Chain A
């Protein structure tokens, strides 16, 4: 599986993480090209349904990122996201998909470096896990 290139869906919130990804870009920080970024208004908008749909459509991993706790543009959106992801992790595991394939990370608009590192670590972890069990 040396040539395995995972397909990863990354949800990024409009106010922090998407700007963080932008910063990683304009700062010319290198990270693997395996992610397909989807901008959402808030990490709280990402429902278990979106994540399960991503896996169903062939994603090897799903990365959700939002503002740090207490920094949410809408006040409590990321707390809701935290709760949703906790439930989704259980659902994903019941569906026979390794829970490590789903990751939640808080990345602010100033943390371009953190965005690049998080994606790098996540891609490495997915490469270790190999193809999604639904795609093998």
Chain B
């Protein structure tokens, strides 16, 4: 009885503090969030407004499914006139749902949740770095002497490559490219063999305890290595290290740097075109792509003289949520593409802060709605006429590849690629 009461009290305190922290009490009932929500757009009913209203006014929790349904894409927050932080609102509620024993429906048999959990084990020594370029100095947890100032964080890509081998996405290639590009700018970053999961998915799924455990192991290791600058390419990882670690564990004592941002500020040789001149072409309202002679068989290309290498390659860029709305990195990837020879950026109708969600997050709740959102995003990309859709987030690529596998015919040969992999191939590729 006593215990039940203290549990209820703790719960009430947590709910009161999350309403305060996420500014949910400022909700003016305008329902922009509900109108923005990609789940609603895909055909289901999901109302952030009602969830906020029910909790703030009536103290009523979301239903067991509602609490897990949100994709935390942040589009509602972007458009909220009162700046209510709904993604965080729902993720904090997830923590209370976990206490009540309400668990999410995990995808892939819970494989990724377990991969995350096992990485909190202190004795874990991983072998995930056998693919690194030869020049990279990789150090194990037992081989740190406080002298490694520039560290590159790889993250879960090697594990994803195994589980999603069928998609053939070469996610490790992203990090290989990132390391080579950083090397071309004159850096020599070290990789820590025993880096742990950054804890992004744990945090947003409400498992704060696991997040803290993982973060603690990582910080311990970074401290032992003597990290001054941590380079991260994965948008989720970058956002977690740069914003969530300080918020939960205090001052980091080192700088967290997004690889694309760093490259835009310190372009490596090979990226010599005038930046910022290429703003890309936007499809007109209704999605009709403006005529562009440089496409396949276009009038501008001069017959046999123009081979594939001189013809500009048309690409489009998808702003993933953690890179864009959460970290505010919109211009840097575009600047990099503008500096790359032979590349034209064709923008989608909804870009930057208005970019659509890739339809899946945290390895929970993937269903036909997710697939619908993914196909819609691919359709948007296809409408630009570009052959490749670039993004900074490899998780987006996994989700989109999964949708393509099921509905391949709609894609029209559209490919997805990570922007770093693309830049490396176009720019400083080995000669």
Nearest chain B CB to A37's CB is how many angstroms away?
20
The B contact surface, by secondary structure, is: helix
Within 8 Å CB of B249, what residues of A?
none
Interfacial residues of chain B within 106-140, with CB under 8 A of chain A in the complex: 106, 108-115, 117-118, 121, 123-128
| Docked CA distance A52–B115 (Å) | 7
Nearest chain A CB to B209's CB is how many angstroms away?
15
Given contacts A47-B110, A94-B158, whether A135 and B118 have CB atoms under 8 Å apart is no
Q: A96, B165: Cβ atoms under 8 Å?
A: no
Within 8 Å CB of B158, what residues of A?
94
B262 at the binding interface (Cβ < 8 Å) = no
Within 8 Å CB of A125, what residues of B?
none
| Docked CA distance A134–B114 (Å) | 14
Q: Contact flags (1/0) for B144-171 with A, using CB distance below 8 Å?
A: 0000000000000011001101000000
Nearest chain B CB to A110's CB is how many angstroms away?
30
Q: A56, B123: Cβ atoms under 8 Å?
A: no
The A contact surface, by secondary structure, is: helix
A91 at the binding interface (Cβ < 8 Å) = yes
Q: B118, A94: Cβ atoms under 8 Å?
A: no
Nearest chain B CB to A42's CB is how many angstroms away?
13
Within 8 Å CB of A55, what residues of B?
118
Q: A94, B123: Cβ atoms under 8 Å?
A: no
Q: A49, B111: Cβ atoms under 8 Å?
A: yes
Q: Which of B110, B117, B162 touches A91 (beta carbons < 8 Å)?
A: B162
Q: Which of B109, B112, B118 touches A134 (beta carbons < 8 Å)?
A: B118
Within 8 Å CB of B115, what residues of A?
49, 52, 91, 95
| Docked CA distance A91–B156 (Å) | 11
Within 8 Å CB of A28, what residues of B?
none
Within 8 Å CB of A47, what residues of B?
108-111
Q: Contact flags (1/0) for B343-375 with A, using CB distance below 8 Å?
A: 000000000000000000000000000000000
Interfacial residues of chain B within 73-122, with CB under 8 A of chain A in the complex: 106, 108-115, 117-118, 121
Q: A94, B159: Cβ atoms under 8 Å?
A: yes
Within 8 Å CB of B118, what residues of A?
52-53, 55-56, 95, 134
Given contacts A134-B118, A134-B123, A134-B124, whether A91 and B109 have CB atoms under 8 Å apart is no
Within 8 Å CB of B114, what residues of A?
48-50, 52-53, 56
Q: Which of B108, B128, B165 touches A94 (beta carbons < 8 Å)?
A: B128
Nearest chain B CB to A34's CB is how many angstroms away?
21
Q: How large is the interface on A (under 10, 10 to 19, 20 to 34, 35 or more residues)?
A: 10 to 19
A87 at the binding interface (Cβ < 8 Å) = yes
Nearest chain B CB to A48's CB is how many angstroms away?
4
Within 8 Å CB of A91, what residues of B?
111, 115, 159, 162-163
Nearest chain B CB to A15's CB is how many angstroms away?
20
Within 8 Å CB of A133, what residues of B?
123-125
Within 8 Å CB of A49, what residues of B?
106, 108-115
Q: B123, A136: Cβ atoms under 8 Å?
A: yes
Nearest chain A CB to B2's CB is how many angstroms away?
31
Interfacial residues of chain A within 8-31, with CB under 8 A of chain B in the complex: none
| Docked CA distance A135–B109 (Å) | 24
| Docked CA distance A48–B128 (Å) | 17
- Give B contacts to A, CB under 8 Å: 106, 108-115, 117-118, 121, 123-128, 158-159, 162-163, 165
Extra inter-chain contacts (16) besides given A49-B110, A96-B127, CB under 8 Å: A47-B109, A47-B110, A47-B111, A48-B111, A49-B106, A49-B109, A50-B109, A52-B118, A53-B110, A56-B118, A91-B111, A91-B115, A94-B127, A95-B127, A134-B123, A135-B123
8 residue pairs of the A-B complex, CB under 8 angstroms, read A49-B108, A49-B112, A49-B113, A49-B115, A56-B114, A93-B127, A94-B127, A96-B126
